[in-house]
Amino acid sequence: EDKVVQSPLSLVVHEGDTVTLNCSYEVTNFRSLLWYKQEKKAPTFLFMLTSSGIEKKSGRLSSILDKKELFSILNITATQTGDSAIYLCAVSPRSGGSNYKLTFGKGTLLTVNP
């Protein structure tokens, strides 16, 4: 069974801090790892990583994957109160066909205080 473990489960920081969120995984026949931000309702897509060691970056957010050690990190620099959300990590196996179903972790609840 595919498994995703995120840490920490929750984190409280002050505006301007830098945070690192962790995601480790076990999946049969790995295809990709995805990060989502969940505010009030829908998970919003952030990044998809398929290759080890290549950093994906979008503004203050960046992510990198280590396929040998089976983990990924999501970095947020100069945090703002608008970054407060649950950050979800999900993996997709290379299953038969092209289902790309996602297995999610429990998420990291990030609270950024002013």
Partner 1 sequence: EPEVTQTPSHQVTQMGQEVILRCVPISNHLYFYWYRQILGQKVEFLVSFYNNEISEKSEIFDDQFSVERPDGSNFTLKIRSTKLEDSAMYFCASRKGLAGNEQYFGPGTRLTVT
Give min distance, CB of 16 to partner 1, in A.
29
CB of 100 to partner 1, least distance (A): 6
Beta pairing partners, 21: 74
Across the strands, what pairs with 103?
A: 91
CA dist 16 and 113 (Å) reads 10
Residue closer to partner 1, measured from CB, 19 or 90 = 90
* DSSP-derived secondary structure letter, 39: S
Of 42 and 69, the one with the shorter C-beta distance to partner 1 is: 42
**Residue 68 has what DSSP assignment?**
T
CB of 60 to partner 1, least distance (A): 20
- Least distance from C-beta 101 to partner 1, angstroms? 5
Can you give the binding site for partner 1, defined by CB under 8 A?
Answer: 31-32, 34, 36, 41-45, 48, 88, 90, 92, 95, 97-107
HSE-CB at 97 with a 13 A cutoff on CA atoms is 3
Around Cβ 9, how many Cβ atoms within 10 Å? 12
Cβ closest to partner 1, residue 56 vs residue 76:
56
Instruction: Give the span between the Cα atoms of 71 and 65, in whole angstroms.
Output: 6
Name the residue nearer to partner 1 (CB basis): 37 or 79: 37
